[in-house]
Structure 1
Amino acid sequence: MGEIAFAAVAGWLIALSVHDLRYRRLPNLLTLPGAVVILVVAALTGHGLEALLGALALTGIYAVVHLGAAGALGAGDVKLAVGVGGLTGAFGMQAWALCAIGASLLTGLWGGVRVLRGVRTPVPHGPAMCLTAAAAVVMALTDPTLR
């Protein structure tokens, strides 16, 4: 991944995280174009199938959770799963799994700490999705055995 692409992805993930932390929602204006760009670039670089499978798998899992417990996971998280799943899927199954599992664990840990501190407001899930996606990509780029 080139420096410009890395900076663009990092900027996208940061913008999503900041917006979700501030407004407790992930807007279509950020989630959907980012997902399209990721899937197109993955296809152009020979990783289209992996990205598509990653996007479909993560979005499917998130859609099931959203439909079963809409208050626990918002529609914006489901839409973000397309881009994040595609991004991490393009870097291999291990990167995808790290993001998929890590995001839920990170949000759960954050929520648990807040409960212990007496804070009962919901925790946005988007920042954990973005942080673990970034970590998974960095790990895949620095350790070729993860691809």
Structure 2
Amino acid sequence: MATLSVVDVRDRRLPNVLTLPGAVVILVVAAVCGRGLPALIGAAALGGAYLVVHLVAPAAMGAGDVKLALGLGALTAALGTEVWALAALGAPLVTVVWGVLARLRTVPHGPSMCLATTAAVALTCLP
């Protein structure tokens, strides 16, 4: 996730090589662990929501964010609905706060997605 974030901040894009293989690995591991269906649903739900935003306002949401949402949606949903919801709601919130604090009109969304996912997993999975 660190590499994704650095590339997105630096280049303002998330290459397929950094998003799609991870999504596939997460879906396969989730299936092997008996969490394939929730992971698939989570990937479709988050990826679908991001796709709608991308289609309505392409300047606001890049295609790389949509592809990253597949893997992060799968990961968080495999761990539970509450993890998925926390990450899904946290990512846009982090992006908005970052933009306001930095006084920027646009900020890359990938780092916020990674941070929100990491926080959601840590907060709900750690004792």
Question: If the length of structure 2 is used for normalisation, what is the TM-score?
Answer: 0.96
Equivalent residue in structure 1 for 2:57, among 69, 80, 84: 69
> How far apart in 1 are the matches of 2:95 and 2:24?
26
> How do residues 98-109 of structure 1 correspond to structure 2 at under 5 angstroms?
98-109=86-97
SS, match of residue 71 in structure 1: coil
CA offsets 1:72-110 (integer angstroms, 9 cap, x no match): 010000000000000101111110001100000000111
- Aligned 1:18-57 pairs, distance under 5 A: 18-57=6-45
Gaps of 5+ in 1: 1-12
Q: What secondary structure does 2:34 align onto?
A: coil
Q: How many angstroms does 1:53 deviate by?
A: 0.7
Structure with larger Rg: 1
Q: How many residues align?
A: 127
**Cα distance in 1, alignment partners of residues 12 and 27 from structure 2:** 26
Q: Aligned runs of 1:50-129 on 2, under 5 Å?
A: 50-115=38-103, 119-120=104-105, 122-129=106-113
In the TM superposition, structure 1's runs of 4+ consecutive aligned residues that sit over 4 Å from their partners are none
Specify the SS of the correspondent of 1:123.
coil
CA distance in 2 between partners of 1:142 and 1:17 (Å): 23
Task: Find the counterpart in structure 1 of residue 124 from structure 2.
Answer: 140
User: Cα RMSD between the aligned structures?
Assistant: 1.0
Identical positions, percent: 61
Any gaps of 5 or more consecutive residues in structure 2? none
